[in-house]
Every structure is written in structure tokens, then in C-alpha cells.
Amino acid sequence: MIDTPKSPDPLHGVTLEMIVTRLAEWYGWEELGRQIPIRCFQSDPSVASSLKFLRKTPWARAKVESLYLFALREQARRRQGF
């Protein structure tokens, strides 16, 4: 078995659906709608409606990916006891 190097990109292999699902689990839809004030998070939110909007709206997708990366860093900091 060949050991392939791990990508330095933390989003490598993570789908947009996984990102939205995890953010909704971590923050809840209400807080997610406050963090990123877009209608798909604030009015009758669902993963499906969010994906539909985010796939055609690059600026919103960038905000969601940025929040996801921030949440990952925060979780790592908490595990290290900071």
C-alpha cells in the first residue's frame, strides 16, 4: 500500500453538504443565520435549500467555508486546552 501525502488544504475531500451539515449541528440554524445572515439559513432552513443557494452564490459559499475553517480551528484550540 502506497502512503499518499495528506493535502495541506483542510477543505480537501470535504463536500459542501458535509460543511453545511456540520455547521448546522455545531451552531444550530438560528445561530448560523446570525453568523452568516443569508435567507437560506434564516427562513425555513434546510441543507437542501442551503446547498442550492450556495452552489450558485460564490460569495456566500466563501463565507460558509470560512466559518467552517474557523470552527475547526476553535475546536482544535479547545482540545489543546487553550
Secondary structure (3-state) at 60: helix
- Residues 34 and 36: their CA atoms lie apart, in Å, by 5
pLDDT of residue 5: 65
Say what the pLDDT of residue 8 is.
83
Q: Report whether 40 contacts 49 (CB < 8 A).
A: yes
- 33: in domain: yes
Neighbours of 23 (CB within 10 A): 23
47, with CB counted inside 10 A (0-12, 13-18, 19+), is middle
39 inside domain: yes
12-65 pLDDT, tens digit per residue, is 999 999 999 999 999 999 999 999 999 999 999 999 999 999 999 999 999 999
Q: How many structural domains is the chain composed of?
A: 1
Q: What CATH number did the domain enclosing 73 receive?
A: 1.10.720.30
